[in-house]
Amino acid sequence: MHWLIDGYNVIRRSPELQDRERQSLEAGRQALCELLSRVARSRRDDFTVVFDGAGTGGDGHVAGVRIVFSSARESADRVLARMAGSHGGAVVSSDREVRRAATRAGALAITAEEFLARLEALPQSFESDATGMDLAVDRDDDEPEAGRRSKKGNPHRVGKKRRAAARALGRLAGPFPR
């Protein structure tokens, strides 16, 4: 699976990564990339982290993680949307517009909180269920849009997109080296 990570969005959702970012932006970026690198070494998934950063230095690689900086003309959100359309996979961001763009492009949309919770649970819960994820419906997306018809079917069944996100996060299950 190809994971597209909204870098600063994920950093600012984790207390540990936020502490590192307070030291410097570079320290926060490095801490996130090290975390993803450990996951990439233990899984066969690809990770691409996108940061806003015109003039920040350029793109790079860190053991299984591709690092992309947006240009001055394009935000990281737009880069993520474009990459979601060409690469597919899963987009990790808590930004509602980024998740919507990812879904429109045919990629899975996973919140940063879900992703981080899964990574934090890995060392302790590799013997638990296949996903270990709370499949509660995202309340932000429950607002009906104009012209939208009501859903049919079992109201207690979790939606197709949420089940796909749970399967994607379930790929991260198993032993995890520290």
The pLDDT, as a whole number, for residue 148 is: 59
The pLDDT, as a whole number, for residue 151 is: 65
43: nearest Cα among 176, 154, 139? 176
The pLDDT, as a whole number, for residue 134 is: 38
Question: Can you name the residues that pair with 110 across neighbouring β-strands?
Answer: 92
The pLDDT, as a whole number, for residue 138 is: 40
C-alpha to C-alpha distance for 68 and 126, rounded to whole angstroms: 31
The pLDDT, as a whole number, for residue 111 is: 94
Residues (pLDDT < 50) of the chain are: 124-145, 176-178
The pLDDT, as a whole number, for residue 118 is: 87
Domain boundaries, the chain: 2-138+151-170
The pLDDT, as a whole number, for residue 100 is: 93
C-alpha to C-alpha distance for 33 and 47, rounded to whole angstroms: 9
The pLDDT, as a whole number, for residue 144 is: 46
The strand ranges marked E within the chain are 2-6, 46-51, 60-62, 65-69, 90-92, 108-110
The pLDDT, as a whole number, for residue 65 is: 92
The pLDDT, as a whole number, for residue 8 is: 94
